[in-house]
């Protein structure tokens, strides 16, 4: 821009207007680019989340090829007016169901390429075409199908046009204000102050306190500049020191948090392994008796058979001796078979429960019989006190859920009762477990008549590391694990009722079948 010889005021006005125009133009272009990128990214992000939510909601109907169920889930998109159409394909890329508020032809091409893209059809920079997002529908790594959603991107170019109009109007107003202010204030006597103001604004925007100002004349302005430079020096020193302190403290906090998280994870795993170890020790003790009987029976059978062989070889075998030996062998084989069957049942129960606790897979199981098997593994520990255990509930109730979670819950409850509830002073220690289905909810209660909890402990019972036995090795994670399993995995809730010396009662409520795996038995029996 050519500068003609004019008054200092005019030069300053032209310089200020030109500088303001350049900065405004660059800032407007940058703002448009940044805002446009942000809006496109925001649309992609929202669309991805929306598509993933719909995909998750179609897993259940897609797994059972419930076309109406899939359409119901797709119709949830009706609240999004930008959706042009949504299509669900099966794992073989065959069309299953669609949602099309604009009644687009139902004849669909093959599954679009996975990912997100704009179908730009115009040369105009604010026209992007429709946005298409295609994702996989998976359940535990198994491909169930594909979901493709096509949306209009009108909101972007509408937003862009409105922003350009606003920027244009804002620019006109701003340039008018700058020109008027420059004509009024841009006089030589005010120039140093204006320079100082611009410098202060630059420092505020960039936080660069190394900037310094200078003034050649010895007057009040020079004193102001010196004071300003001194303030910058002090601020820069304090800022650098503060940044160093913040950096060191942040690093210390990050290290502490990382250490705490690792320790918590290790303790959670240790707690689960301890429960599994208790299961192993209980089963080992219970299996010992039937196996001992089987070994004894084997020895008797071997001895009697050897005796018969010897008498046959010597020719001294009598009918009475043979009849007696056969009776002994038959009785011993019966006892031996019964003992081996008992041991096999114990081992089979242990195998099922241990696998359930480690795998956490969904399967169908009889809740009553499964709880009986869990209690069987604790028979050795419960009879040492001894504890009277009662289990009540529908013997025919079949659940399709996570059996390992129920094993973990009951195991942790029993361990807590054995460690915290019962003492030598407890009269007739007892544990009761009851379950029933009410209004499509499984209500499971666990209660003991032990020491109970006071109000302070009860308020923090489910928080991690809360324990009254830390001196004897308690980790304080038992009830925290129970709480997380119920609320996060089973989508249920748990409550505590307890008073000191009055025992404790846990009530677990698990929704069925809305948020939990479906109940396969006839609930009307209850």
Which 3-state string (H, E, C) describes 472-491? HCCCCCHHHHHHHHHHHHCC
The answer to whether residue 2 is domain-embedded is no
Does 283 score more than 50 pLDDT? yes
Does 241 score more than 90 pLDDT? no
The answer to whether residue 323 is domain-embedded is no
pLDDT tens track for 310-320: 888 877 777 77
How many of the other CB atoms lie within 10 Å of CB of 291? 17
Q: Percent of the chain at pLDDT above 90?
A: 11
pLDDT, mean of residues 38-65: 85
In angstroms, rounded to a whole number, what is the distance separating the alpha carbons of residues 265 and 261? 6
Does 465 score more than 70 pLDDT? no
In angstroms, rounded to a whole number, what is the distance separating the alpha carbons of residues 152 and 128? 9
Amino acid 492: pLDDT = 92
Amino acid 389: pLDDT = 93
In angstroms, rounded to a whole number, what is the distance separating the alpha carbons of residues 522 and 526? 8
Does 167 score more than 70 pLDDT? yes
Of residues 249 and 322, which shows the higher confidence score? 249
**Gyration radius of the chain over CA positions:** 39
DSSP string, 438-470: ETTEEEEEEEE-S----HHHHHTTTSTT--S-G
DSSP state of 163: H
Where residue 89 sits, what CATH number does that domain have? 3.30.450.20
All residues at 6 or more sequence positions from 357 whose CB lies less than 8 Å from its CB, including other chains? 272, 275, 276, 279, 404, 407, 408, 411
DSSP state of 525: G
Mean pLDDT of the chain: 77
Amino acid 303: pLDDT = 76
Using the 3D structure, point to which of 184, 205, 240 is the last residue of a domain: 184
pLDDT, mean of residues 366-393: 87
Sign (positive or negative) of CA dihedral 396, 401, 404, 408: negative
Amino acid 200: pLDDT = 77
User: Of the segments 4-18, 311-325, 378-392, 454-468, which one has the largest average pLDDT value?
Assistant: 378-392
The answer to whether residue 369 is domain-embedded is yes
Sign (positive or negative) of CA dihedral 440, 401, 73, 48: positive
Amino acid 102: pLDDT = 76
**Please, which pLDDT band fits residue 516 given cuts at 50, 70 and 90?**
very low
The answer to whether residue 413 is domain-embedded is yes
User: Of the segments 12-26, 65-79, 115-129, 275-289, which one has the largest average pLDDT value?
Assistant: 65-79
pLDDT, mean of residues 311-333: 77
Of residues 480 and 286, which shows the higher confidence score? 480
Does 353 score more than 60 pLDDT? no
Query: Three-class SS of residue 31?
Result: helix
Which 3-state string (H, E, C) describes 39-102? HHHHHHHHHHHHHHHHHHHCHHHHHCCCHHHHHHHHHHHHHCCCEEEEEEEECCCCEEEEECCC
Cα maximum dimension of the chain:
146
The answer to whether residue 66 is domain-embedded is yes
All residues at 6 or more sequence positions from 471 whose CB lies less than 8 Å from its CB, including other chains? none
- Residue 89's DSSP bridge partners are 95, 146
Does 490 score more than 80 pLDDT? yes
Domain range for 83 is 8-184
Lowest mean pLDDT segment, chosen from 173-177, 440-444, 487-491, 510-514: 510-514
The answer to whether residue 298 is domain-embedded is no
Using the 3D structure, point to which of 145, 162, 184 is the last residue of a domain: 184
Contact 157, 128 (CB under 8 A): yes
Where residue 524 sits, what CATH number does that domain have? 3.30.565.10
Q: Kindly state the helix (H) or strand (E) to which residue 507 belongs, with its residue range.
A: strand 504-511
Amino acid 444: pLDDT = 96
Amino acid 430: pLDDT = 94
Does 120 score more than 70 pLDDT? no
The answer to whether residue 249 is domain-embedded is no
In angstroms, rounded to a whole number, what is the distance separating the alpha carbons of residues 485 and 466? 17
What's the total number of domains in the chain? 2
Amino acid 506: pLDDT = 95
pLDDT, mean of residues 354-370: 73
Amino acid 178: pLDDT = 77
**CB-hemisphere CA count at 13 Å for 169?**
5
Amino acid 154: pLDDT = 75
The answer to whether residue 493 is domain-embedded is yes
Using the 3D structure, point to which of 184, 203, 225 is the last residue of a domain: 184
Q: Percent of the chain at pLDDT above 70?
A: 75
What distance, in Å, lies between the first and last C-alpha atoms of the chain?
90
Contact 147, 88 (CB under 8 A): yes
Q: β-strands 504-511, 95-99: how paired? A: unpaired
- C-alpha angle 441/493/525, rounded to 5°? 15
């Amino acid at each position: 821009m050519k500068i003609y010889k004019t008054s200092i005021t005019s030069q300053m006005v032209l310089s200020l207007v030109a500088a303001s125009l350049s900065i405004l133009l660059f800032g407007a272009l940058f703002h448009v680019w940044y805002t446009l990128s942000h809006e496109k990214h925001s649309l992609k992000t929202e669309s991805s989340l929306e598509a993933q939510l719909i995909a998750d909601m179609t897993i259940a109907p897609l797994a059972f090829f419930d076309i109406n169920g899939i359409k119901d889930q797709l119709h949830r998109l009706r609240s999004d007016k930008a959706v042009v159409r949504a299509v669900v394909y099966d794992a073989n890329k065959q069309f299953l169901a669609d949602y099309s508020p604009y009644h687009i032809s139902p004849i669909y091409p093959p599954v679009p390429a996975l990912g997100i893209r704009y179908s730009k059809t115009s040369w105009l920079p604010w026209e992007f075409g429709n946005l298409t997002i295609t994702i996989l529908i998976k359940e535990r790594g198994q491909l169930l199908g594909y979901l493709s959603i096509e949306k209009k991107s009108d909101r972007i170019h509408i937003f862009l046009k409105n922003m350009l109009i606003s920027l244009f109007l804002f620019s006109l107003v701003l340039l008018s204000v700058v020109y008027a202010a420059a004509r009024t204030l841009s006089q030589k006597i005010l120039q140093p102050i204006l320079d100082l103001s611009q410098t202060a604004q630059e420092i505020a925007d960039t936080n660069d306190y190394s900037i310094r100002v200078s003034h050649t004349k010895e007057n009040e302005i020079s004193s102001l500049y010196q004071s300003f430079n001194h303030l910058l020096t002090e601020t820069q020193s304090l800022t650098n020191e503060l940044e160093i302190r913040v950096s060191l403290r942040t690093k210390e906090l990050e290290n502490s948090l990382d250490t705490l998280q690792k320790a918590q994870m290790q303790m959670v795993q240790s707690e689960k392994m301890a429960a599994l170890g208790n299961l192993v020790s209980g089963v080992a003790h219970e299996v010992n008796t039937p196996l001992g009987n089987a070994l004894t029976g084997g020895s008797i059978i071997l001895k009697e058979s050897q005796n018969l062989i010897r008498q046959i070889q010597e020719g001294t075998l009598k009918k009475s001796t043979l009849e007696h030996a056969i009776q002994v062998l038959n009785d011993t084989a019966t006892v031996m078979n019964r003992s081996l069957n008992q041991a096999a049942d114990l081992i089979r129960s242990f195998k099922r429960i241990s696998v359930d606790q480690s795998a956490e897979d969904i399967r169908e199981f009889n809740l009553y019989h499964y709880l009986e098997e869990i209690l069987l593994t604790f028979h050795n520990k419960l009879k040492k006190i001894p504890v009277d255990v009662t289990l009540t509930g529908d013997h025919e109730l079949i659940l399709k859920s996570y059996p390992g979670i129920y094993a973990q819950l009951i195991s942790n409850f029993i361990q807590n009762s054995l460690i915290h509830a019962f003492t030598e002073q407890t009269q007739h220690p007892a544990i009761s477990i009851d379950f029933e289905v009410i209004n499509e909810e499984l209500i499971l209660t666990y209660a003991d008549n032990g020491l109970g909890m006071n109000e302070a402990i009860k308020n923090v019972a489910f928080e991690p590391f809360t324990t009254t036995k830390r001196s004897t090795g308690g980790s304080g994670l038992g009830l925290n694990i129970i709480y997380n399993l119920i609320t996060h995995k089973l989508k249920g809730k748990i409550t505590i009722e307890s008073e000191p010396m009055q025992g404790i009662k846990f009530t677990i409520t698990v929704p069925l079948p809305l948020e939990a795996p479906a109940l396969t038995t006839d609930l009307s029996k209850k």
